Amino acid sequence: MTGTPYGGPALAYDYENRAKSATMGSFMESYAYDENNRRVEKINSGNDSIYFYGADGRLLSTFKATVSGSSYSLALVSNRVYFGGILLGRRDGPA
């Protein structure tokens, strides 16, 4: 299924009605989800992101993934710290 809301990006959905990809002009971004319907990866040209979640389902960390030849590296984008279900802090990595 695809759709273009209000002249924005063209969106494609998977069989569980989750955004599978977004396209606007020559820019395309695709998404991958885990078994709990949490987005675990955002893929676009050169700015791939990987998301890590805690046991309670809260987003803990976001990393930028870079592939160069046969090497693969992760750079911290942000970390979150929770206590008792409350967000205590967020630390962003280098830009």
pLDDT score of 61: 95
pTM of model > 0.85: no
Is 10 inside any structural domain? yes
pLDDT score of 15: 92
* CA pair distance 49, 31, nearest whole angstrom: 10
Q: 27 and 53 share a domain?
A: no
Domain residues for the domain of 84 are: 46-95
Closest residue by Cα to residue 37 from 67, 55, 11, 16: 16
Q: Are 75 and 60 in contact (CB under 8 A)?
A: no
Q: 54 and 75 share a domain?
A: yes
pLDDT score of 4: 54
* CA pair distance 67, 50, nearest whole angstrom: 13
Say which DSSP state 35 is in: T
pLDDT score of 95: 53
Domain count, the chain: 2
Closest residue by Cα to residue 24 from 32, 14, 37, 12: 12
Q: 26 and 52 share a domain?
A: no
Is 16 inside any structural domain? yes
Is 41 inside any structural domain? no
Q: 58 and 90 share a domain?
A: yes
Is 58 inside any structural domain? yes
Spans of the chain, pLDDT less than 70: 1-7, 95
pLDDT score of 7: 66
